[in-house]
């Protein structure tokens, strides 16, 4: 029977650790500002969830809501203002941004020391070189914790990452490649241009699926004893549900489960870790900036 890696439980542990650490600072609390541009309903839900988690952990959170059609320079001015505001320790611009705004320019405008999302190239670079002074993006940082806290070492293991996004695929591979206790894996990156994908996924001791295509990894594509980290959260039409859809991972849980040694469910696996790691990053920013 596969071990089900309980992301909800592990995320709760981390949120409580953060809350406990913050208590020690007494009257002084970390503060996070989230900038939300436009009216994307999903983004609104995320931002609301972040705000709630912040409050519980003792992180002061502000949300700045900007119009969909705001000019880029106005957004950049707002970021500059927050960069200079010593009462703010973390800045997060909720993605995606409207098409007329250049994401790269915006992410590079955030002071790297306040970039709790870890998307500024300087923080990306630090993840690669193994410099721990920067911020690791929340999802890959969460995956490292899921593996570690559920007792699965990556030392000498073959990790196959399916997906090469800047937010998940690339950084998680780089983290697991590092010469350290939480790394030392042999890492293979697969993606849409990979020929014979199953030839690679079948070799995985640890398979990380971050593709964004529902149930694409099926039981015949993995070996017995694989550890599965499923990053996908896809909506699949399902008329038997009240909402008319259900959430599905990138992994076909039903066929993969019998072969897996351990697996993250969707929902309740990687998803809950994201906010927990964001809180952890905000605490780190606070410590660095107020030290």
Query: What are the residue numbers of the active site?
Result: 50, 94, 117
Residue 207 binds to a second copy (criterion: CB under 8 A): no
The helix-helix angle for 41-57 and 7-23 (nearest 10°) equals 50
According to CB under 8 A, which residues from 1 to 40 bind a second copy?
none
Site string for a second copy, 100-119 (x = CB under 8 A): ----x---------------
41-74 b/e with 16+ CB inside 10 Å = b?
eebeebbeebbebbeebbbbbebbebeeebeeee
3-state SS, residue 237: strand
How far is it, in rounded angstroms, from Cα 161 to Cα 141? Answer: 15
What number of other Cβ atoms are within 10 A of residue 164's Cβ? 17
Q: Name the residue nearer to a second copy (CB basis): 180 or 241.
A: 180
How far is it, in rounded angstroms, from Cα 194 to Cα 200? Answer: 9
174-203 b/e with 16+ CB inside 10 Å = b?
bbbbbeeeebebebbbbeeeeeebeebbee
Applying CB under 8 A, among 10, 11, 124, 247 the residue interacting with a second copy is 124
* Cβ atoms of 277 and 14 closer than 8 Å: yes
Minimum CB distance to a second copy, residue 264 (Å): 23
Applying CB under 8 A, among 47, 138, 174, 270 the residue interacting with a second copy is 174
Q: Name the residue nearer to a second copy (CB basis): 50 or 284.
A: 284
Q: Name the residue nearer to a second copy (CB basis): 15 or 114.
A: 114
Applying CB under 8 A, among 155, 181, 241, 290 the residue interacting with a second copy is 155
Applying CB under 8 A, among 166, 181, 241, 290 the residue interacting with a second copy is 166
Q: Name the residue nearer to a second copy (CB basis): 2 or 122.
A: 122
Minimum CB distance to a second copy, residue 133 (Å): 8
Residue 190 binds to a second copy (criterion: CB under 8 A): yes
């Amino acid at each position: 029977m596969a071990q089900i890696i309980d992301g909800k439980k592990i995320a709760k542990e981390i949120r409580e650790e953060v809350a406990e650490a913050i208590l020690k600072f007494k009257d002084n609390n970390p503060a996070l500002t989230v900038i939300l541009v436009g009216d994307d309903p999903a983004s609104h839900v995320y931002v609301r969830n972040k705000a709630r988690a912040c409050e519980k952990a003792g992180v002061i959170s502000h949300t700045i809501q900007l119009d969909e059609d705001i000019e880029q320079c106005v957004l950049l001015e707002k970021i500059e203002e927050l960069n200079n505001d010593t009462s703010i320790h973390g800045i997060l611009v909720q993605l995606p941004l409207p098409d007329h705004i250049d994401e790269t320019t915006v992410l590079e405008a955030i002071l790297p020391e306040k970039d709790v999302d870890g998307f500024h190239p300087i923080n990306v670079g630090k993840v690669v070189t193994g410099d721990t002074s920067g911020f690791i993006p929340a999802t890959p940082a969460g995956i490292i914790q899921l593996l570690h806290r559920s007792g699965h070492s990556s030392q000498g293991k073959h990790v196959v990452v399916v997906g090469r996004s800047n937010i998940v695929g690339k950084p998680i591979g780089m983290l697991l490649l590092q010469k350290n206790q939480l790394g030392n894996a042999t890492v293979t990156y697969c993606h849409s241009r990979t020929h014979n994908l199953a030839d690679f996924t079948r070799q995985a001791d640890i398979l990380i699926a971050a593709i964004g295509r529902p149930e694409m990894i099926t039981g015949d594509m993995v070996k017995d004893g694989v550890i599965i980290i499923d990053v996908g959260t896809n909506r699949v039409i399902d008329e038997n549900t009240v909402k008319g859809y259900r959430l599905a991972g990138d992994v076909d849980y039903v066929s993969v489960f019998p072969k897996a040694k351990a697996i993250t469910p969707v929902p309740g696996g990687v998803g809950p870790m994201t906010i927990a790691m964001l809180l952890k990053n905000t605490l780190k920013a606070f410590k660095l900036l107020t030290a």
